[in-house]
Amino acid sequence: MADETGRPAGVHRPGDRVYRPVRRPTGPSALPTELEPARERQRGAAAAHRPGDKIVRVVRGRELTLRRVIGVGGLFATGYGNVGSSIYYALGVTTLFALGAAPLALGVAGLFFILTVLTYTEATVAMPEAGGASSFARHGFNEMVSFVAGWATLMSYTVTISISVYSAAGYMAVFFPVLKQPAPHVAVAVAAIVLLMALNILGIQEATGFSLIFAAIDLAIQVVLVILGTMFLLNIDRLISQVNFGVAPTWPDFVYGIAVAMVAYTGIETISNMAGEARAPARTVPRSYAGLIFAVLVLFIGISTVALSAFPVECVDGRCSTELATTYLDDPVAGIAERMPPPFNHILAPIVGILASSILLIAANAGVIGVSRLAFSMGAHQQLPHVFTRIHSRFGTPYIAITIFSVAAVLLVLPGSITQLSEAYVFAAMLTFTLAHLSLIGMRVRKPGLYRAFKVTLGLPIAGRDIPLTAVAGCLGTASVWVLVVVTYPFGRWVGLAWMALGIALYVLYRRRLRLPLGATVSAIPSLTMVQLERPYGEPPPQEHSGRPTRT
């Protein structure tokens, strides 16, 4: 005789939970029949139970966590591989507006970079989990603010893909001069995005050690360029004489030069997103960020100083410009290498071409990986429809998310303008950084008792809460730059606002369809997470999560 589970009556496995129907007395105080845990102890491989008992098989999922194996060197190298690669395109667009004051513009932008790094360091150490600003906003505010931060981060990742491959194609021109023409340049950039999309869908990624080696070589070459440039090209008198504030550059252009210079600090979230893999994050994250600040500021200001010594600002008929902003707009560091005296120019030019294109493609690939992982995480928190978390049955990759954002990167690169791409990046990055600063303030207010192994000490006590002044200053700075982009530059404004409007509409419609509060933290139960599933014996385990929400 079989029970309702299909097994012979009286047989069940160790660990099964046995529930026995209990009849309550009839009458006015009668309760309905319910299930009550059986009290007998289960011994051996099987134990008897009565006919009519309900057996529930307890399946405990295995907790899947990232191994914490990355130290300070690994975090720094990975962060520099993303942030350090941005000088290859940021130098040209910054000089386009700031002219001879480009080193100063990069330095002022570097101050905002430092303030933002302090915010990311404290928030990451307090909450060592992937997600960056989106995770900070979840803890500092609510799920809707978390979505806005995450969606803005997705835009910055997407623009990073576009701007990195476009610049990589420009540096390949040292070997293929035809790439100096707009059409072939854009075509190669589009082909590179399609190739990266295909490789990531197939699950083929470069080895981490390989990327770290390239980052180390890149750092070494930039140091060599600064040293040789200081020896052969540096001209202090020329640097001073070519800066005439109000004329070259004008004050509005200098202010926007500071804004565009923020593109030099792409990839600031890289270390934060690797916190789940960091060994002793309370120690390694602050140290790696400190090293990143020193290396980036010294090298970026050094390279820009050498570049403007090699390509001074020239004014003709009241219009001032430099070859860095015209001839070498797409590949400014290649121009520095070519201006070196023989034989250094013949040696460095091809090395810079190969290294720059390689490190930029690695940064673009990191953008593809980052955008797919963040979209998957947002889908798991019911911020995006389940289609973004769909995994390829053969390759095990989030192929739909990769495809969607790769297509968006292609659309962004089609105009073939490094300046417009910079505008779009600054829009997304400044919005992300502003929300990160606000989220840290929110975490200080909402969770004052949270243990913080790293805490910015410069604070202002308000209503019993310690408000970090660095986050306040950083928020004001990044928000001002964001407003400047929205008000002044149409491409960054319309692309950015359209992106955000589309995302917010998608979020609201999706949450309404699931009848979920817009601000509540709700997560779908994936098939392989630390959860306990109870199901009757004989029912097959779920192969993937159904999208049903579980409030946390």
> What integer pLDDT is reported at residue 483 of this predicted model?
94
Phi and psi at residue 58, to the nearest 5°: -95, 120
- What is the residue extent of each domain of the chain? 1-60+531-552, 75-508
Phi and psi at residue 462, to the nearest 5°: -135, 120
Does the 75-508 domain belong in CATH 1.20.1740.10? yes
DSSP 187: H
Asked whether the CA dihedral 76, 345, 326, 235 is positive or negative, the reply is positive
> What integer pLDDT is reported at residue 45 of this predicted model?
41
In angstroms and rounded to an integer, the radius of gyration of the C-alpha atoms of the chain is 28
> What integer pLDDT is reported at residue 210 of this predicted model?
62
Exposure letters 292-317 (e unless 16+ CB within 10 A, then b): bbebbbebbbbbbbbbbbbbbbeeee
Task: Write the single-letter amino acid at 201.
Answer: I
> Residue 96 is encoded by which pair of tokens?
């386009």
Nearest alpha-carbon partner for 461 in 453, 473, 469: 469
DSSP 468: E
> What integer pLDDT is reported at residue 541 of this predicted model?
39
Phi and psi at residue 530, to the nearest 5°: -80, 80
Q: Give the tens place of pLDDT for each residue, 110-159.
A: 899 899 989 988 988 888 776 788 989 999 999 999 999 999 999 999 99
DSSP secondary structure of 4-56:
TTSSBTT---TT-EEEEEEPPPPSTT----EEEE--SPP-SS-----TT-EEE
DSSP secondary structure of 195-219:
HHHHHHHHT----HHHHHHHHHHHH
> What integer pLDDT is reported at residue 204 of this predicted model?
61
Task: Round to whole Å and give the CA distance between 58 and 60.
Answer: 6
> What integer pLDDT is reported at residue 270 of this predicted model?
72
Give the contacts of 250 (CB within 8 A, at least 6 positions apart): none
Q: Please report how many Cα atoms fall inside a 13 Å half-sphere around the Cα of residue 446, on the Cβ side.
A: 13
Strands (E), 202-345: 314-316, 319-321
> Residue ranges of the chain with pLDDT lower than 50?
1-7, 9-10, 18-20, 22, 24-47, 56-66, 207, 525-552
Cα–Cα distance list, 344 to 173, 228, 335, 340, 348 (Å): 19, 9, 13, 6, 6
